[in-house]
Amino acid sequence: MAPQHHLCGSHLVDALYLVCGDRGFFYNPRRDRGIVEECCHKPCTIFDLQNYCN
């Protein structure tokens, strides 16, 4: 099982850059609360982050 982490703010964005690489990702903290609720308010895995890659 993949380790789970709380990732918020710049840590969350940095993790998305690492996971998604050249594919990029969609992250709009004002509009899309999904990833914030999934990875900041609760812990998430690298596999959860991959769902937000383009």
Name the residue among 37, 38, 39, 48 with its Cα closest to residue 1: 48
| The pLDDT value given to residue 6 | 94
Instruction: Name which residue leads in pLDDT, 33 or 42.
Output: 42
Name the pTM for this structure: 0.79
Q: Which domain holds residue 21?
A: 9-50
Could you tell me the CATH number of the domain that includes residue 42?
1.10.100.10
User: Could you report the per-residue pLDDT of 2-40, keeping only the tens digit for each?
Assistant: 789 999 999 999 999 999 999 998 766 665 568 888 899
Using CA atoms, how far residue 38 sits from 22, 30, 53, in Å, is 23, 15, 15
Looking at the 3D structure of the chain, how many domains does it have? 1
Residue 2 falls within a domain, yes or no? no
Residue 43 falls within a domain, yes or no? yes
